[in-house]
Amino acid sequence: MSASFSGGFVKSVIAAILLSLASACSVAEPKTNAKTADAVNTTVANSSEPAAADPAAPKGPTITIDKGGPADTVRAFYQLLREKKFRDAIFLTNLRPAIEGLTEAELAEFSLDFEALAGQVPAQIEINGEIVSGDNATVTANLPSGDDGKLEPQKIKLKRSADIWIIQTVDDEVEARIKKEGKAYFYNLRIETHEDEARKMLERVAKAQIAYSLQHDGVCGEIQTLIDAGFLPDDIKTSESTGYNYTVTLSESKKRYFANAVPAVYGKSGRLSFLLEPDAKGFSHVTSKDTGGSAMKK
C-alpha cells in the first residue's frame, strides 16, 4: 500500500508503517515448495469469505487457508483493522512492543490515523498465495496501492515465533529500536515524521515564491495568496495534519520574505523549529533549531 493518504501529509508515522506492510510493486505469481503446493494452489471451496458476485469487486481468498497459518494471520490482521480493533490488529505484527504499553487514552490520540487507514481496507481481502520456508513465510494478496485505491498483488512477510506467525512491518534494526523505546516509539517517530514534512513544506514554499514572483514582477506572496495561485496545499494553514504552524513574513516592498515553521505542540508534534530565508543572492535555505517551540525569526 502507499504510505500517503488523504491527499496531503502522512498524518502520523503509524499510518505510514501500516500502509507499507506490503511492498508497492507488483509481484509475480508465487512459486511454492512441495510441502505447501496443495494449500497454495487450491481454490477455496467452502471459504468463510466467498468471492463477491460482482467480478469487479474485491474477492475473498482464492487459496486454502489453514487456521493459524500465515495467510490466516494476514486475513485476521486486515479484518481487525477494518473493524477498528487496532490494538488487536497491531498485536499480530512486530510493532506490538510499541503499542502494548499504551493506555486506551494514549491509543485514542492516534485514532484519526487508524480510522483513515481502516477506511481503505476492502471488505474482502483476496489472498492468492502463501509460501512457507521454515520459520519464514510470504503471503501474496491484492491490496489497494496508491491514492486511487487500485488493487494490486503485493507481498507480506511473516516470521514464526512460538508457533505464532507475526507480520513483519519493519526490519530487524527498527524492530530493535521498537523493543528499546516501547510505547515511546510511536511518539518519537511521529515527531520525526512531522519534522521531515515541515522541512519539505518550507522547501515547497520556496519554490512557490519563485514561481509566484516570476509571474508578479518579483513580488512575493502571503500563504493564502500562494494557495489561491495553486502553489501550496490547503493543509499548510492548519496543524491538524502537519503538526506544525507555518507563517510567511513579507518585507515592506514584498520582494523579500522569510517563513517559519514551529511545532503546534512542542515535544509532542515536533521539537525543531524551522526557518526558510533567501540569502543575498536569492537562494533559499532551510535551517532548524530546537528553540523550545518558538519561531527562529520574528
The tens-digit pLDDT sequence of the chain (298 residues) is 333 223 232 344 444 445 444 433 333 333 333 333 333 333 233 334 444 455 555 567 778 888 999 999 999 998 998 898 989 998 999 989 988 889 999 888 877 767 777 777 888 888 989 999 999 999 998 887 665 667 888 899 999 998 899 999 888 898 899 999 999 988 888 899 899 999 999 999 999 999 999 999 999 999 999 999 999 999 999 998 789 999 999 999 999 999 999 999 999 999 999 999 998 887 899 999 999 999 999 8
Q: Does 153 lie in the same domain as 34?
A: yes
What's phi and psi for 106, nearest 5 deg? Answer: -65, -40
Residue 137 structural domain: 13-182
Q: Does 146 lie in the same domain as 235?
A: no
Which of 148, 182, 216 is the C-terminal boundary of a domain? 182
Q: Does 216 lie in the same domain as 145?
A: no
* Domain assignment present for 8: no
* Domain assignment present for 158: yes
* Domain assignment present for 294: no
What's phi and psi for 104, nearest 5 deg? Answer: -60, -35
* Domain assignment present for 1: no
Number of domains in the chain: 2
Q: Does 30 lie in the same domain as 113?
A: yes
Q: Is the pTM value of this prediction over 0.75? A: no
* Domain assignment present for 223: yes
* Domain assignment present for 7: no
Residue with the three cell numbers 489561491 = 228
* Domain assignment present for 127: yes
Using CA atoms, how far apart are residues 274 and 287, in angstroms rounded to an integer? 6
Q: Does 237 lie in the same domain as 143?
A: no
What b/e readout covers 153-188, taking b as 16+ CB neighbours within 10 angstroms? bbbbbbebeeeebbbbbbeeeebeebeeeebebbbe
* Domain assignment present for 267: yes
